[in-house]
């Protein structure tokens, strides 16, 4: 059967949510429109519709950000995986003093679905749910490829990750940030931490992630 055409309006609405998640801060109508490549009036109508469904919110300055309605939708995504990962992510954030998060594979992308920030640090990196990047880039994406059969085209980072059991990246998703990740075997998912301290003990972090990931896999 021939491939059916997409709904352009739905596609644009979803792209707005993706753009806002990736931006990391509230965006103006002009900024959202530039990201979509459409006129301001079209952007405004799309944002108003999403706002009516509480999928985006508008601040006092008229800028838009992801809305609380997404929280309800997210509760239905891989509930078993999220339930098993939650306590482990909290423990990792407390033990390592770093933001810990759960990433799942969606096609060729790695998508963050849960993020836990440490409570007792003076400063830490914020990494929001909804963040996405190519699955062959960044520690979480590479970690999800570890269980797959090796191929001649594998990146050196993936080859190294298969030897240690965890993946490491620097600046591949967000400039200046470091990440370590381990796969949750059997779940097409990975857990990771993100940080800026170049003196951090990567082996300690990697082993902690591998141990936590194994416990999550066992609890699914």
Span 53-77, pLDDT tens digits? 888 989 888 999 888 677 666 655 5
Q: Mean pLDDT for the chain?
A: 89
What does the alpha-carbon distance between residue 108 and residue 154 come to, in Å, rounded to a whole number? 15
Q: Which residues contact 167 (CB under 8 A, 6 or more apart)?
A: 139, 140, 142, 143, 146, 157, 158, 161, 180, 181, 182, 190
Helix, strand, coil percentages, rounded to 5, for the chain: 45, 20, 35
In this structure, are residues 32 and 20 in contact, taking their beta carbons and an 8 Å threshold?
Answer: yes
Q: Give the whole-number percent of the chain exceeding pLDDT 70.
A: 93
Query: Is the model's pLDDT at 1 over the cut of 50?
Result: no
The reported pTM is 0.68
Complete domains list, the chain, with CATH: 8-72 (1.10.10.10), 76-219 (3.30.450.40)
Kindly tell me the sign of the dihedral angle through the C-alpha atoms of 192, 193, 195, 197: negative
The pLDDT value recorded for residue 8 is: 87
Lowest mean pLDDT among 83-92, 118-127, 189-198: 118-127
> Which carries the bigger pLDDT value, residue 4 or residue 113?
113
**Cα–Cα separations (whole angstroms), residue 195 to 11, 28, 179:** 33, 29, 6
Confidence of residue 35 (pLDDT cuts 50, 70, 90): very high
């Amino acid at each position: 059967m021939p491939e059916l055409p997409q709904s352009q309006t739905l596609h644009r609405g979803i792209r707005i949510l993706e753009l806002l998640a990736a931006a990391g801060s509230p965006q103006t109508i002009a900024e959202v429109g530039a990201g979509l490549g459409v006129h301001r009036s079209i952007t405004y109508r799309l944002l108003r519709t999403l706002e009516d469904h509480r999928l985006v919110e508008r601040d006092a300055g008229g800028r838009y950000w992801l809305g609380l309605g997404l929280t309800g939708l997210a509760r239905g995504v891989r509930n078993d995986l999220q339930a098993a990962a939650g306590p482990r992510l909290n423990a990792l954030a407390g033990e390592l003093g770093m933001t810990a998060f759960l990433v799942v594979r969606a096609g060729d992308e790695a998508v963050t679905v849960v993020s836990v920030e440490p409570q007792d640090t003076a400063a830490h990196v914020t990494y929001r749910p909804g963040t996405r990047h190519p699955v062959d880039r960044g520690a979480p994406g590479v970690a999800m490829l570890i269980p797959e059969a090796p191929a001649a085209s594998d990146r050196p980072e993936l080859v190294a990750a298969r030897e240690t059991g965890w993946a490491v990246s620097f600046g591949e998703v967000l400039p200046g940030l470091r990440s370590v990740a381990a796969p949750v075997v059997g779940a097409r998912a990975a857990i990771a931490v993100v940080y800026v301290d170049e003196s951090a003990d990567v082996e300690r972090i990697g082993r902690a992630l591998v141990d936590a990931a194994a416990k999550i896999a066992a609890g699914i």
